[in-house]
Amino acid sequence: MNNLFEHVLNPLSDIGTNDFFNIDEGEDAWSDAHANFLSSLSESETKDLLKCSHRLDLKSRDYLFRAGDHSNDVYIVAGGCIRLFQVSPTGKETILWFSFPGEIFGIAELSRGNERQLYAVANEATQVFSIRSKDFTQFLGTHPEAAMKAIGILSARVRALGHILVGLTSDNVETRIARLLMRFAAVSSGTRCCAGSTEGELCVRVRLTHQDIANLIGASRQTVSTTLAHLRKIDAVRTVDQHIHIVQPDHMRRLLGLSAA
pLDDT at 52: 94
CA neighbor of 75 nearest in space, from 31, 132, 114, 113 = 132
> What's the Cα-to-Cα distance from 188 to each of 77, 98, 107, 236, rounded to whole Å?
12, 8, 20, 19
Q: Which is it for the CA torsion 35, 41, 45, 50, positive or negative? A: positive
Q: Measured between alpha carbons, how far is 210 from 231 in angstroms, rounded to an integer?
A: 13
pLDDT at 113: 64
Which fold is adopted by the domain 2-164? Jelly Rolls (2.60.120)
Q: Measured between alpha carbons, how far is 104 from 54 in angstroms, rounded to an integer?
A: 14
Sheet holding 243-246, edge to edge: 202-204, 243-246, 237-240
Sorted by sequence, the CB contacts under 8 Å of residue 251 that are 6+ apart come out as 234, 236
pLDDT at 63: 97
Q: Measured between alpha carbons, how far is 182 from 163 in angstroms, rounded to an integer?
A: 14
CA neighbor of 33 nearest in space, from 216, 180, 160, 146 = 160
- What is 172-260's CATH number, 3.40.50.12160, 1.10.3720.10, 1.10.10.10, 1.10.580.10? 1.10.10.10
Indicate where the chain has its CATH 1.10.10.10 domain(s).
172-260
pTM of the model: 0.77
DSSP SS3 for 246: strand
Sorted by sequence, the CB contacts under 8 Å of residue 91 that are 6+ apart come out as none
Indicate where the chain has its CATH 2.60.120.10 domain(s).
2-164
Q: Measured between alpha carbons, how far is 127 from 139 in angstroms, rounded to an integer?
A: 21
pLDDT at 5: 47
pLDDT at 45: 95
- pLDDT string in tens for the chain (261-residue length): 444 444 444 443 333 333 333 444 445 566 777 788 988 999 999 999 999 999 999 999 999 999 999 888 999 999 999 999 998 888 888 888 889 899 999 887 766 667 898 999 999 999 999 999 899 999 999 999 999 998 888 888 877 776 676 666 668 899 889 888 888 887 754 455 655 667 778 888 888 899 999 988 888 999 999 999 999 999 999 988 778 889 888 888 887 775 544
Partnered with residue 84 across adjacent β-strands are 97, 120
pLDDT at 188: 56
Sorted by sequence, the CB contacts under 8 Å of residue 54 that are 6+ apart come out as 129, 130
Partnered with residue 98 across adjacent β-strands are 83
